[in-house]
Amino acid sequence: MRRFTALAVLTGALLLAAPAAAYNPQIAGLQVALRAHGLYKGPVDGIQGAGTRKAVRAFQRRAKLQPDGLAGPATRAALGRLGHPLYGSRVLHRGMAGWDVSVLQFLLQRHGFVPGRVDGHFGRSTQKAVKRYQHFARLTRDGVVGRRTASALCSVRACAFAKFSTPGRAKPPSAIHRVKPGETLTGIATRYHTSVRALARANRLDPRRYLLVGARLKIPVSRRAAGSTTASLVIRQPEHVGRAIEQWSRHYGVDPRLVRAIGWMESGYNNGLTSSYGANGIMQVTSETWSYVETFLIGRTVPHDASGNVRVGTAYLAQLLKEFRGNERLALAAYAQGPYSVRKRGLLKETQMYVANVLALKQRVYTSR
C-alpha cells in the first residue's frame, strides 16, 4: 500500500465512531482545524463528542463533500494546512504548522506546559513549552520534537502510528535473477521474499503473461521485519489466509475475490513480507494506515497477525469503496496511490497497470481451504 508522496500520508478515513467519551489526542488536531474554519466552538479536548461530529458534517456540506461525518482524505485535504499530517509522522520544530502541531500543543497543555494558543502553528511560545517539557522529562533540551519527545508526550497507541520521515532515504537495494525454464513470477517472488507486484513494477512486467527464459529480472530486496511480531507470524498455509479473507470480507461487505486479488498481488499471501517502503503483511499495510484504521475505523487494537492484517486492509478497502461510490477501479487506485492523489492527479501509469492486474486476478485467484 505504498503512497506516491514524499511522506506517507494518511489514507484511511477518520471515522468518528468510537464511544462518545473516547479520548484520542489525534482528535484534538481535527478540532483545531474545524475551529479554524469557524465550525467548532467546543473545547479542544481530544474527545469526539456530538459537537465534533456535527462540525465535521457542517464542513463537508460547505466543501461540497458527502456529509458522512468521516474526516477522510478528501475532507482532510479540504481542511487545508491544518488537516495534515498526523502526530507522530515527522519531526516538529519552530516554523512548522499542521494537524500534528495542534496535537503537540494540546499534549503540552495537558502536561501542564502551556504553549500559548493551541492553533496548529509552532511558534516561539510552543518552542519554549517544548524545552520546558524536555527539561522536566530529562530529554535533550533542543525545542525539537523528535521520536523520543513525541513518544514521551503521548504513549497511547493512537500517537505511535508512524515512522518519522527520514530525508534522503537511500534507494532500496536490488539483485538480478536470470529466468530459468519452468520458473514463474510467483516462484521467483517467493524465493527472494518479495511480492509479485514489486517484481512486476521493478521490471515493467504484466503478471498475467509468461516469462521469457533467459530474461534478466531486477529483484527489489525487501526487508524482513526482524524481531517484530509480524515476522514471527508468517502464514505458510493458504487456508488460514482464505479463512481470514472470507471472515473479514463478509464483515465489511467487500467482495472476497477483490480482497484475494489484492492479497496475492501485494504479497503472494506472505504475512512476513515487509516492503522496502515499510508496508507490511498480506495486504501490505503501512504503519500509518494501520493505526488510522485501527483507531478511527475499527475503534480498537487489532492483533498484528495474518487475520489482523487482512482485517485492516479489508476495512480500509471498504472505506475506499464507500468514498468512491462503489467504483472498484478508483478504490483500487486509491489503495495503491492514495485517494487524495487519485482525486487530484488521476491514475498514474503505474497505478493503471496495478488496477488492471488486480481486476484480472479477481477472476482467477482463489485460496485453497
Q: What are phi and psi of 298, to 5 degrees?
A: -100, -40
Sign of CA dihedral 76, 154, 167, 352: negative
pLDDT of residue 277: 65
Distance between CA atoms of residues 232 and 52, nearest Å: 40
Three-class SS of residue 256?
A: helix
pLDDT of residue 366: 53
Residue 129 burial (CB count, 10 A): 21
Three-class SS of residue 158?
A: helix
Identify the structural domains of the chain with CATH numbers, from first to last. 99-153 (1.10.101.10), 174-220 (3.10.350.10), 231-362 (1.10.530.10)
Residues paired with 220 in a beta bridge: 174
Q: Which residues contact 170 (CB under 8 A, 6 or more apart)?
A: none
Distance between CA atoms of residues 163 and 242, nearest Å: 30
Query: First-to-last CA distance in the chain?
Result: 26
- Cβ atoms 55, 39 nearer than 8 A: yes
- In angstroms, how far is CA 23 from the centroid of its own chain? 21
Is 246 among the catalytic positions?
no
The active-site residue, picked from 239, 266, 328, 350, is: 266
Distance between CA atoms of residues 10 and 273, nearest Å: 21
Distance between CA atoms of residues 316 and 308, nearest Å: 12
pLDDT of residue 163: 46
How far lies 70's CA from each of 226, 351, 365, in Å?
A: 35, 25, 32
Per-residue pLDDT 10s for the chain (369 aa) are 644 433 333 333 443 333 444 678 889 999 999 999 999 999 999 888 889 989 999 999 998 888 888 787 788 888 999 998 888 888 899 999 999 999 999 999 999 999 989 999 999 999 999 999 999 989 889 999 988 898 889 876 666 544 444 444 444 445 677 887 777 777 787 677 777 777 887 787 877 666 777 778 887 755 443 333 333 323 333 578 889 999 999 999 999 999 998 988 888 788 887 775 678 889 989 888 888 888 888 888 899 899 999 999 999 999 999 999 999 999 999 998 888 889 888 998 878 888 888 888 787 655 444
Residue with cell 495486504: 283
The type of residue at 79 is L
Alpha helix ranges (H) inside 253-305: 256-267, 287-292
Distance between CA atoms of residues 49 and 58, nearest Å: 14
pLDDT of residue 9: 36
pLDDT of residue 170: 43
Quick check: pTM over 0.75? no
> Which one, of 201, 358, 177, lies nearest residue 276 by Cα?
201
Alpha helix ranges (H) inside the chain: 25-36, 50-62, 73-79, 99-110, 124-136, 147-153, 185-191, 196-203, 238-252, 256-267, 287-292, 306-323, 328-337, 339-345, 349-362
Q: What are phi and psi of 273, to 5 degrees?
A: -85, 130
Three-class SS of residue 23?
A: strand
Cell numbers at 283, concatenated:
495486504
